[in-house]
Amino acid sequence: MGPVQIVSTIIAALVTIAAVVLAVRTVSRMVRVIRLGQPDPERFDRKGQRTANMLKEIFGHTRMLKWTVVGISHWFVMIGFIVLSLLVLGAYFEVVKPTLDLPIIGSWAIYGFVTEWIGVLGLLGILVLMGIRLRNLPTRTKGRSRFFGSTMWQAYYVEYTILGVLICGFLIRGFKAAAGDLPYPMWAAPVSHGIGSAFGGLSESAAHTGVTVTALIKILISMAWLITIALNITMGVAWHRFSAFFNVFFKRTASERPALGALRPMMSEGKPLDFEEADPEKDQFGVAQVEQFTWKGLLDFTTCTECGRCQSQCPAWNTGKPLSPKLLVLSLRDHAYAKAPYLLAGGGKDLTGEEKATQEQLANVNVLALAEADRPLIGGEADGGIIDPDVLWSCTTCGACVEQCPVDIEHVDHIVDMRRYQVLIESNFPSEAGVMLRNLENKGNPWGAAQNTREDWTKGLGFEVPRVTDGGDFEYLFWVGCAGAFEDRAKKTTRAVATLLHEAGVSFAILGEGETCTGDPARRIGNEFVFQMLAQQNVETLNEVGVKKIVATCPHCFNTLANEYGQLGGNFEVVHHTQLLAHLVATGKLTPVQPVDGGVTYHDPCYLGRHNRVFEPPREVLAAAVGAKADGADGAGANGGNGITEMERFAERSFCCGAGGARMWMEERIGKRINIERSEEAIATGAQTVAVGCPFCLTMLGDGVTAKKSVGEASNDVEVVDVATVLLRSLKPEPAEDAAR
């Protein structure tokens, strides 16, 4: 061992010890902070499925690969990071003795081959990611970049670290090749041999010194990174390399699906809260303090990589609202860790608002943490609030953020948890939504319509719509929904669906006046009490009638009936009307004969598409209607060969209409109207028919298109209609006219 090796070894050892001690201390603190959250026992079930899913998501990069170039680049960088760890480990041997390799596998040609190519592709990957980041800088994209609000120095630092370590790895191999010590043949490590040729003029001892010094640099870069992230506990762009495994493992669904569809119920002692037995002194009603999120919530906040995918897809952010799902998560993360010293010292408020800790316990807590503890979770800037009320109420619960998040953060659950406290305890929510809640409580529907007008839509259909009270057998309970029963445009869809089911000979019946709102708007706004009241009543009614199968036209009803009533003892097989219609068309029970002219585009409703993965059936129905032309499905400008012209954002990336999350009943005062943004996209397809599969989308896009027509920015021929109406028109022009009245 020469003097260079001795000095290098001592430096490497000292820096490594310091880095590891700091990192262990930070990880232990991180775990203690995450454990401050509330219990969430359901995250520990189906461990085998969770493990398989985690491995598939992380190593298959299922979410990342939806952004192909970024996904591929990131995959190589991630694998490169794992390989890098081996290369860094090898550097400790090279520092001691330049001819040494990693024990056991280090001199194996296959190891050399794999690490060589992962290194090359990792290098290319990191360069691509750096290029993408530079191209999307907030300064270049007028502040609406997905990186707006991300801590840029941290991302650059991580990227340059990976770049530096990879370059060092190749230089070490090059020096070894020059000294004749590289144990891999040319086929296994051509790049390293090439670099070795460039160092061909070096003496053996100079090459050995090169190995030692470069290995030391590699260790110093790596340990500087470890020290930096240890000193920055909220540096998610680095920590996610470790925490993402746990976050994906503990996701709510234990499967590949993101946490969409059913909302997480309010919990009491690890079980869903039943309001009939709720005790305000014991049960937490929503989230008013950051530590009232579950431990998984705190793990979510810790894991955010600041990639901004969620932000780039958020309809609120894209129309100038103050809500960005990324910035919301980052605010909660920063607040949680800033408040942590106070909480870890035993501080915190009980459910009556009393301080739990004694003055002595809090005596050593730093003033910054005490000040942070005083900040309200929801509040405006003047009050020092962490989340502005306008941020909280801007969310449409469309799920685009959850769908896109590569580390499975569950934004919608967190947003609704905060809404629950504001609604149930503070009664603090947009006043106009109060009318909707009162109507739900008093009349069983958000419009406040008289219950005895629920069946008015059946008048003049030309056939008798069967009621469950008639006593006959039926296969499907046709769940009409409040919009379908009371809202004029939605009633046309209801009539069209009933006509189609009748034409196809489907055995169905309606509850009529026995139906009330499913409770979806109450639940999404945060009023779990009203939701439970309505849901329990409906579950009772449906169980009494012996309902097994339900067909619903409203995706919000569909989602609640299919995914949430199970939490209250209502287990039914639920289909959306487009699914049933697609089946009836495919089995020849409904045969379109009259082609739909003028082009068709389809808007995916969030609660049908993203939340419930129903993307194809509505398109199949429309394709059948368009394909009624003698020469097959050849709609103008069709993207998918099915006659439908897709909008710029469709299917999983569909853009919300603006009505979800009870936003239908709130004023949209900030930024551009979401329905206008979406209507512009629909109009840009040039299609005359904008088909939807949701009564709320029908209203929102209908209003949006009307507004564009009024300023001459849309042709008067453009029409927004439900998929069922399109099918009915293509099936039988005469009854279609009649049913659509």
Cα 166 from Cα 155, distance rounded (Å): 17
Q: Binding mask 338-377 vs ligand SF4 (x if CB under 6 A, - otherwise)?
A: ----------------------------------------
Residue span binding ligand SF4 (CB under 6 A) among the ranges 124-132, 401-409, 423-431, 530-538: 401-409
Q: Which of 220, 263, 365, 401 binds ligand SF4 (CB under 6 A)?
A: 401
Q: Binding mask 318-337 vs ligand SF4 (x if CB under 6 A, - otherwise)?
A: -----x-xx--x--------
Cα 728 from Cα 11, distance rounded (Å): 78
| DSSP letter for each residue of 251-311 | -TTSSSS-S-SSPPPPEETTEEPPGGG--TTTS--S-SSGGGSBHHHHHHHHH-----HHH
3-state secondary structure of 516: coil
Residue span binding ligand SF4 (CB under 6 A) among the ranges 218-226, 339-347, 409-417, 712-720: 409-417
Which residue from 207, 14, 189 is spatially nearest to 87, judged by alpha carbons? 189
Query: In this structure, which amino acid lies at residue 512?
Result: G
Cα 534 from Cα 529, distance rounded (Å): 9
Q: What angle do CA 136, 139, 142 make, to 5 degrees?
A: 90
Residues 253-312 that bind ligand SF4 (CB under 6 A): 304-310
Which C-beta is closer to ligand SF4: that of 400 or that of 533? 400
State the minimum distance, in angstroms, from the CB of residue 395 to ligand SF4.
Answer: 3
Which C-beta is closer to ligand SF4: that of 400 or that of 596? 400
Which C-beta is closer to ligand SF4: that of 74 or that of 732? 74
Segment holding 654, helix H or strand E: none
- Give Rg (Cα) of the chain: 30
Which C-beta is closer to ligand SF4: that of 332 or that of 614? 332
Cα 219 from Cα 9, distance rounded (Å): 10
State the minimum distance, in angstroms, from the CB of residue 382 to ligand SF4.
Answer: 24
Which C-beta is closer to ligand SF4: that of 296 or that of 411? 411
Q: Give the phi and the psi of residue 720 in degrees, each rounded to 5.
A: -105, 120
Residues 589-608 that bind ligand SF4 (CB under 6 A): none
The DSSP code for 481 is: -
Residues 411-440 that bind ligand SF4 (CB under 6 A): 411-412
Cα 636 from Cα 360, distance rounded (Å): 75
Torsion region of 261: left, alpha or beta (phi above 0 gives left; psi -120 to 50 gives alpha): left
Q: Which of 237, 398, 657, 659 binds ligand SF4 (CB under 6 A)?
A: 398
Query: In this structure, which amino acid lies at residue 10?
Result: I
Sort strands 267-268 and 271-272 into parallel, antiparallel or unpaired. antiparallel
Which C-beta is closer to ligand SF4: that of 327 or that of 557? 327
Retrieve residue 123's tokens.
């290098």
Which C-beta is closer to ligand SF4: that of 404 or that of 579? 404
Retrieve residue 348's tokens.
């915190």
Query: In this structure, which amino acid lies at residue 98?
Result: P
Is residue 252 within the footprint of ligand SF4 (CB under 6 A)? Answer: no
State the minimum distance, in angstroms, from the CB of residue 579 to ligand SF4.
Answer: 24
Query: In this structure, which amino acid lies at residue 722?
Result: D
Sort strands 549-552 and 271-272 into parallel, antiparallel or unpaired. unpaired
State the minimum distance, in angstroms, from the CB of residue 147 to ligand SF4.
Answer: 9
Which residue from 560, 479, 559, 549 is spatially nearest to 519, judged by alpha carbons? 560
Q: Which of 341, 389, 399, 635 binds ligand SF4 (CB under 6 A)?
A: 399
Is residue 400 within the footprint of ligand SF4 (CB under 6 A)? Answer: yes
Which C-beta is closer to ligand SF4: that of 323 or that of 666? 323
Q: Which of 214, 404, 494, 516 binds ligand SF4 (CB under 6 A)?
A: 404
Cα 207 from Cα 181, distance rounded (Å): 10
3-state secondary structure of 517: coil
Cα 131 from Cα 738, distance rounded (Å): 58
State the minimum distance, in angstroms, from the CB of residue 611 to ligand SF4.
Answer: 10
State the minimum distance, in angstroms, from the CB of residue 331 to ligand SF4.
Answer: 12
Direct distance between the N- and C-terminal alpha carbons of the chain, in angstroms, rounded to an integer:
93
Residues in the chain: 741
Is residue 58 within the footprint of ligand SF4 (CB under 6 A)? Answer: no
State the minimum distance, in angstroms, from the CB of residue 485 to ligand SF4.
Answer: 27
Q: Which of 254, 314, 547, 574 binds ligand SF4 (CB under 6 A)?
A: 314
Which C-beta is closer to ligand SF4: that of 208 or that of 251? 251
Count other C-beta atoms under 10 Å from residue 618's C-beta: 30
Which C-beta is closer to ligand SF4: that of 310 or that of 582? 310
Q: Which of 36, 171, 223, 316 binds ligand SF4 (CB under 6 A)?
A: 316
Which C-beta is closer to ligand SF4: that of 406 or that of 555? 406
Residue span binding ligand SF4 (CB under 6 A) among the ranges 37-45, 182-190, 408-416, 470-478: 408-416
Residue span binding ligand SF4 (CB under 6 A) among the ranges 133-141, 343-351, 407-415, 467-475: 407-415
State the minimum distance, in angstroms, from the CB of residue 416 to ligand SF4.
Answer: 10
Which C-beta is closer to ligand SF4: that of 403 or that of 515? 403
Is residue 397 within the footprint of ligand SF4 (CB under 6 A)? Answer: yes
Binding footprint of ligand SF4, residue count (CB under 6 A): 29
Which C-beta is closer to ligand SF4: that of 401 or that of 436? 401
Query: In this structure, which amino acid lies at residue 618?
Result: P
Contact 662, 440 (CB under 8 A): no
Which C-beta is closer to ligand SF4: that of 261 or that of 406? 406
Which residue from 308, 296, 291, 307 is spatially nearest to 251, judged by alpha carbons? 296
Strand partners, 294: 38
Residue span binding ligand SF4 (CB under 6 A) among the ranges 50-58, 82-90, 406-414, 422-430: 406-414
Cα 444 from Cα 194, distance rounded (Å): 76
The DSSP code for 527 is: -
Cα 605 from Cα 598, distance rounded (Å): 22
Q: Give the phi and the psi of residue 722 in degrees, each rounded to 5.
A: -80, 155
Summarize as ranges the residues that interact with ligand SF4 (CB under 6 A): 304-310, 313-316, 323, 325-326, 329, 395-401, 404-407, 409, 411-412
